[in-house]
């Protein structure tokens, strides 16, 4: 880990809006890519390297927190650790004093405790939980647990681990960057208790003298403004369930998205929080209903970039390939989910060089190992450095050593 301290405002110049992704803290200045007002090539010592901004994480936390406070919503926020578990990222979130943590495995639970999160700041929502998992969970009863299945309720009851739990339901409405990132919807998924099982879940819990005080759902990863009407419908469908069972907490999971490509606009938090407020204060008429959130990407995705090196550029049967020294094992989002990894050169030569449409190829021996197709870039050469933007979430945390190419650095600024 490398920590780099940068004086806020250093090297600050007026930004041009030539690129959709430019913002304060991420822009070309004098045609050199800057991150938090520091040239990116001065931040890294090797490639591939992830670079994360503490300042951006804190800005994202504050923006979301203020949106909820502004609507007078009783709430708690828990960062989804699976998005990025780097210790400095977790400590930054802990030190904000505004956010707890959401974990989904015993090792994530242990890391959260080691970082300094108190048990009452931790939500645990797992799936396919083993006997070993339950044994580890039982050692920390101060956490909040959401049962993902009827089986989980039985295990909790049989082992007498918790007196009060939440249940994760599947509302069969999905939201996400694309359909492959929806955790609920038309397709039956492994996640959550379905509507025809909910009554059975409450009866089962009662048999074990367990109180269910929380309804939890997580419908996907990465929704933006266009999907807010679906979220509004989803909440409306839960009104009777919350009233019938006197639910105290509604955990709406994570999934808040950030712009990934040119036509995307930032999530309208005022509209988003107004939908939640209307549901709590008018449809449920229960201002004491606590709203719980578990965002991951929203806090860290645009707080990180990934820098790699061009290894070759070559035309093959009419396709211009641009090779880089990293692959889907370092960032899988395009290969698995066709999510845009906005690729930008560290030096802006668009005004000097002709442009090409590239297929960006990684260094893993798999046919799906691509980081983008039809990507318009200036003519690139071997040795040039290239940055993939919005890669602070689900990048390093999902990396593997496939082909024994798992080496990369993580730099904190």
Would the CATH topology of 2-53+302-412 be identical to that of 55-300?
Answer: no
pLDDT tens per residue across span 284-327: 999 999 999 999 999 999 999 999 999 999 999 999 999 999 99
Phi-psi region of 288 (alpha: psi -120 to 50; beta: other; left: phi over 0): alpha
Q: Kindly tell me the number of DSSP H helices and DSSP E strands found in the chain.
A: 11, 20
Average pLDDT over residues 269-290: 97
- Could you give the count of Cα atoms lying within 13 Å of 331 in the half-sphere of its Cβ? 37
Average pLDDT over residues 184-198: 88
Predicted TM-score (pTM) of the model is 0.93
Question: The domain at 55-300 falls in which architecture?
Answer: Alpha-Beta Barrel (3.20)
**Mean pLDDT (the chain, rounded):** 93
Average pLDDT over residues 383-407: 98
- 47 vs 184, residue with greater confidence: 47
Model pLDDT, residue 342: 98
Cα-trace Rg, the chain: 22
CA distances from 169 to 149, 174, 197, 198, 279 (A): 8, 12, 9, 8, 18
Model pLDDT, residue 67: 98
pLDDT range class, residue 174, cuts 50, 70, 90:
confident
pLDDT tens per residue across span 66-115: 999 999 999 999 999 999 999 999 999 999 999 999 999 999 999 999 99
pLDDT tens per residue across span 25-82: 999 999 999 999 999 999 999 999 999 999 999 999 999 999 999 999 999 999 999 9
pLDDT at 237 over 90: yes
pLDDT at 157 over 80: yes
Q: How far apart are CA 126 and CA 144, in angstroms?
A: 12
User: For the chain, what are the domain ranges?
Assistant: 2-53+302-412, 55-300
pLDDT range class, residue 198, cuts 50, 70, 90:
very high
Q: What is the CATH number assigned to the segment(s) 2-53+302-412?
A: 2.40.37.10
Model pLDDT, residue 13: 40
Model pLDDT, residue 17: 55
- DSSP H or E stretch at residue 378: strand 370-378
Provide φ and ψ at 83, rounded to 5°.
-70, -40
pLDDT at 10 over 60: no
pLDDT at 6 over 50: no
pLDDT range class, residue 221, cuts 50, 70, 90:
confident
Provide φ and ψ at 226, rounded to 5°.
-60, -25
Model pLDDT, residue 290: 98
pLDDT range class, residue 3, cuts 50, 70, 90:
low
Model pLDDT, residue 8: 42
pLDDT at 15 over 70: no
Model pLDDT, residue 57: 98
């Amino acid at each position: 880990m490398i920590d780099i301290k940068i004086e806020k405002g250093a090297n600050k110049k007026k930004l041009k809006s030539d690129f959709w992704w430019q913002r304060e803290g991420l822009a070309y200045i004098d045609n050199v890519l800057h991150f938090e007002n520091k040239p990116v090539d001065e931040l890294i010592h090797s490639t591939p390297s992830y670079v994360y901004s503490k300042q951006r994480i804190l800005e994202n936390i504050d923006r979301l927190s203020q949106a909820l406070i502004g609507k007078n919503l009783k709430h708690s926020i828990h960062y989804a650790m699976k998005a990025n578990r780097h210790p400095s990222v977790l400590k930054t979130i802990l030190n904000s004093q505004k956010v707890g943590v959401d974990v989904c495995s015993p090792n994530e639970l242990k890391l959260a405790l080691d970082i300094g999160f108190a048990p009452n700041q931790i939500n645990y929502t797992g799936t396919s939980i083993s006997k070993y998992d339950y044994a580890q969970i039982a050692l920390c009863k101060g956490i909040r647990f959401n049962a993902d299945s009827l089986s989980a309720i039985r295990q909790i009851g049989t082992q007498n681990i918790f007196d009060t739990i939440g249940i994760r339901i599947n509302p069969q409405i999905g939201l996400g960057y694309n359909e492959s990132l929806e955790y609920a919807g038309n397709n039956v998924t492994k996640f959550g208790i379905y509507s025809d099982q909910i009554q059975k879940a409450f009866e089962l819990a009662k048999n074990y003298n367990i109180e269910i005080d929380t309804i939890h759902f997580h419908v996907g990863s990465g929704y933006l403004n266009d999907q807010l009407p679906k979220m509004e419908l989803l909440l409306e469908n839960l009104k009777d369930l919350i009233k019938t069972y006197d639910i105290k907490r509604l955990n709406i999971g994570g999934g808040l998205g950030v712009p990934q490509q040119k036509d995307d606009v930032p999530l309208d938090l005022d509209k988003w929080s107004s939908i939640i407020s209307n549901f709590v204060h008018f449809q449920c008429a229960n201002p004491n209903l606590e709203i719980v959130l578990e965002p991951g990407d929203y806090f860290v995705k645009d707080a990180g970039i990934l820098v790699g090196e061009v290894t070759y550029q070559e035309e093959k049967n009419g396709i211009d390939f641009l090779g880089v020294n990293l692959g889907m094992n370092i960032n899988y989002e395009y290969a698995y989910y066709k999510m845009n990894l906005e690729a930008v050169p560290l030096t802006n030569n668009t005004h000097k060089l002709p442009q090409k449409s590239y297929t960006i190829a990684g260094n893993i021996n798999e046919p799906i190992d691509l980081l983008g197709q039809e990507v318009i870039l200036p003519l690139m050469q071997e040795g040039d450095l290239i940055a993939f933007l919005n890669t602070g979430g689900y990048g390093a945390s999902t990396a593997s050593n496939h082909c024994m190419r798992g080496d990369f650095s993580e730099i904190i600024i």
